[in-house]
Each structure stands twice: as C-alpha cells, then as structure tokens.
Structure 1
C-alpha cells in the first residue's frame, strides 16, 4: 500500500513542490495549510489531475489541538500516515534583532520549533513500532546566523537541527528515521513575506553556483530522504545550498 504522508505548510513553495513530487513517487499526500485554502486546493487538484492521491487539511501546527486534528483528518482521508515533512515555517520581517517584536519571536518559535516538535511527537506516537520517516526543514541560516536579517529565525532552525539529531537517535531502534534538509536561498515567496522581495538578487552573488534554488530542487532532497533509497540515513542534516 502507498505510504501516507503529511506535508505541513504544503500549499506553496518548497512544501507544494514536495507534495507534488512525493505524490508522483506514489505517496498519498495530505497538504496542510494555515490560511490559504485556495493555494492548497490548487496543489491538491494538480496532484489528482496527475493521477495521485491528495487531500488538503487546514490546521495550526503551532497548537497541540491543531496537530491532533491534522493527523486525525489525514488518516481519515488517506489512511495510516507513515511519513511526515515538517515544512511549515516563518521568518518574520527582515531586520536587526533589536527591532524584532516579542510577538514575532513567539510566533516564529511556535511554528518553526514547537510546531515541528508537536508534529514529530504525534507522528512517532502513531508510527508505533511500524517504522516511518520524518524530514524537518532546516536552513543554512542555522549555521550562518543570518546577522542583520533574522537571527531569531536562524536560532529556530538551529534548534530544529539539534532536535533532528536527538530524536533520530532516540527512535532509530523502532525503525523510524529522522532527517533534515537545510536549503539555501530558494525562489519562494518567503522573501516577499519577510519584506524584501528583491532579496534573491541581493544574495545571488554569495552563492558559489551563482543562482538561487528552485523549490523542486529542494523537494528532490526531501523526497529522497523519505524514500527507501535513504534507508540507512538518519540523524542527518542534508545541506542543499548551491555550495554556500
């Protein structure tokens, strides 16, 4: 039976690319979204048109209740979930750390760290001893610090890296693999949402490959880590950043 997969934040960017690619590789996909139902439905419709199985589910993964409801709805629609991609993430506005509002700090940590932990905990509980795969979306910012832009976001992704390693070692004996992908700058709307839509042009010259990633290139790494081809890979943060 094809594997049930939840992709949080799956309505756009890397999440949408991952949902589409995974469905094409045989996964039954739950596309989670927070607010934009139309964007999620566009992804679901594309997957179904290509012959795949998908459903969209609204849920706030920064809350325990939202996470439980997400897994319940996913399993009701696509059957047992044996794979999870913790993709949902936010940066808040670009700027120096001293200007960041406390509410922004809380929301970034709630979504990027707590949300990933809550979803992973629910996944591990439901996987039981049947095995499964979790891929967390990190960022190269976890190792660069993102000074002058969003050090709070970078700190949240460093927490994701540490969480990935610790959980992977804890659940390996149950056949559950936990990995992360750390993208570099990628052509998504996260730059506009952070207040600097022209950021790709500003940072391109820093990247050895001299270009930003396409979401589909990051998705390839994510789906590989979910697959049996990566059966001996766990506790790993895979950097996909054009050499940066």
Structure 2
C-alpha cells in the first residue's frame, strides 16, 4: 500500500518538469491526482499517460492559477472527479520569466512576478482550505533564490519566492488549529528545463565543481520531499521551509 492511499491531491503546474515528477510520485503512493496545466495539453496528456500506465488515477485541468475563476474551476473539477474533500495541495506554479536589473523593471514586471509566484499560491490556498479536513497538507514551492537573493536580474523572482515562505509560515499558524499543515521547499539547481532556459551553462558547470555533492539535483528527489511533506510521516512538521540544494546555500 502507498503512503497516500485514499488521498486526493491537486498539483498546480503539475504537467511538466518538477510538477510532473510530483504528480507521478503522489499517484505512485496512491493519491488520486488532479494536475493543473497552463498551456501545453500535450505535456498534461503525457503526464496522465505515465500515471495511468502505472495504475494510478489522475485528471488534468487547464487554467491560469493567477485567475480566481480558473482556480475555482480547478477545484470544482477535482470535486466532480474525486469527491468534495481535498487532502493535499501542492503549489508548484511559478517562474522567473526573465532577468531584469532594477532599473529595467517597471510596475508591470513587478505585478507579473508577484502574480505568478505569490498570487497563485494565495488563490489556490484560499480555495483549498474550505475543502480540507484535519490531516490536510499544503506544500508550497519557494526557491533557493528566496534564501540568498537570487542571481543577476532575479530580484523580483527572489522577492516573490520569499513572500511564499512568509505566507507558508502565516498559514501554518492560521491553519494549524484545524489540523492542516503548511510547509514549503526551496529547491536549488535542479536538472530541469527551467535551468536549461534561465541558467548559463558555466554556472551549472561551476556548481558541479563547488557544491558539496558536486552535482545538480534531480526532479524525483524534489518529488520525494514533497511526498514526505504531504504524508503522515511529517505529521509534526509545519511552517517549515526545507532547503533542497545539495548544500550549496551553506557552502
């Protein structure tokens, strides 16, 4: 039996890269998964195929998690498919979008990054709480950038991801008396298309030389941590923001 048998999980941004790894892992552990995707139905279908080939249950729902109506629809579709109770919410949605120095940023850039990385978490959490019972778990994706300020041109990404950590702590206090745990994780350099697109090859090579573990992380390692935080194995952990970066932050 899987550690999440009988649970219903929603994974925002659950169709590719880290989100796909999380969706597949939760399903392998017995959860019924509703994965949200924004643009690529093909990615969503590929993730569903992986889950279903392994005997899992999952559906995919398109939506922009910065839009309240789309978030409401995601939860409504999940309830239609799997019942009215949500046990696990994993907020993966987020992104750096691009790199801009402070003098290159305008208010629209500020709003865009805060919407993608923080507003999406706020809207999904607000929708999830009335559908959660004691034992529910929310797992938010922050970033190593929230810990160290990020690389060149990533100030708003780092700032918005730091807001996620603060929101996680606030929700842990607010929802703890209801028996709902809220935690975050702060991934560093993980081998995904995110870093293929936004990280210079030399930076990745330098990490292989300087990081204590001398390598990048893999998506399945992040998914394993999410599964732990979503399960009863972490029943006395809440308000935590767990680093998963191979020791880069302290070294």
TM-score, normalization by structure 2: 0.91
Q: Residue in 2 aligned with 1:188? A: 192
Q: Residue in 2 aligned with 1:71? A: 75
Q: Residue in 2 aligned with 1:126? A: 131
1:166 equivalent to 2:206? Answer: no
In the TM superposition, what is the alpha-carbon distance from 1:206 to its structure 2 partner? 4.0
In the TM superposition, what is the alpha-carbon distance from 1:21 to its structure 2 partner? 0.6
CA deviation string 1:103-125 (max 9, x = no partner): 33322211110100110111112
Matches within 5 A, 1:104-119: 104-119=109-124
CA deviation string 1:169-225 (max 9, x = no partner): 111011100000111111111124437566533544342211111111111101100
1:22 equivalent to 2:26? Answer: yes
Q: Residue in 2 aligned with 1:155? A: 159
Matches within 5 A, 1:1-244: 2-79=6-83, 80-100=85-105, 102-127=107-132, 129-194=133-198, 196=200, 199-244=203-248
In the TM superposition, what is the alpha-carbon distance from 1:240 to its structure 2 partner? 0.7
- CA distance change for structure 1 residues 185 and 229 in 2, over 3 Å: closer, same or farther? same
For residue 238 of structure 1, give the secondary structure of its aligned residue in structure 2.
strand
Distance of 1:145 and 1:32 partners within structure 2:
29
RMSD: 1.7
> Which blocks of at least 5 consecutive residues in structure 1 are unaligned?
none
Range 146-155 or range 67-76, more displaced = 146-155
- CA distance change for structure 1 residues 201 and 102 in 2, over 3 Å: closer, same or farther? farther
Give the 4+ runs in structure 1 shifted more than 4 A: 195-199
In the TM superposition, what is the alpha-carbon distance from 1:43 to its structure 2 partner? 0.4
For residue 158 of structure 1, give the secondary structure of its aligned residue in structure 2.
helix
In the alignment, is the contact (CA less than 8 A) between 2:145 and 2:151 conserved in 1?
no
In the alignment, is the contact (CA less than 8 A) between 1:3 and 1:83 conserved in 2?
yes
Paired residues, what number? Answer: 243
In the alignment, is the contact (CA less than 8 A) between 2:189 and 2:195 conserved in 1?
no
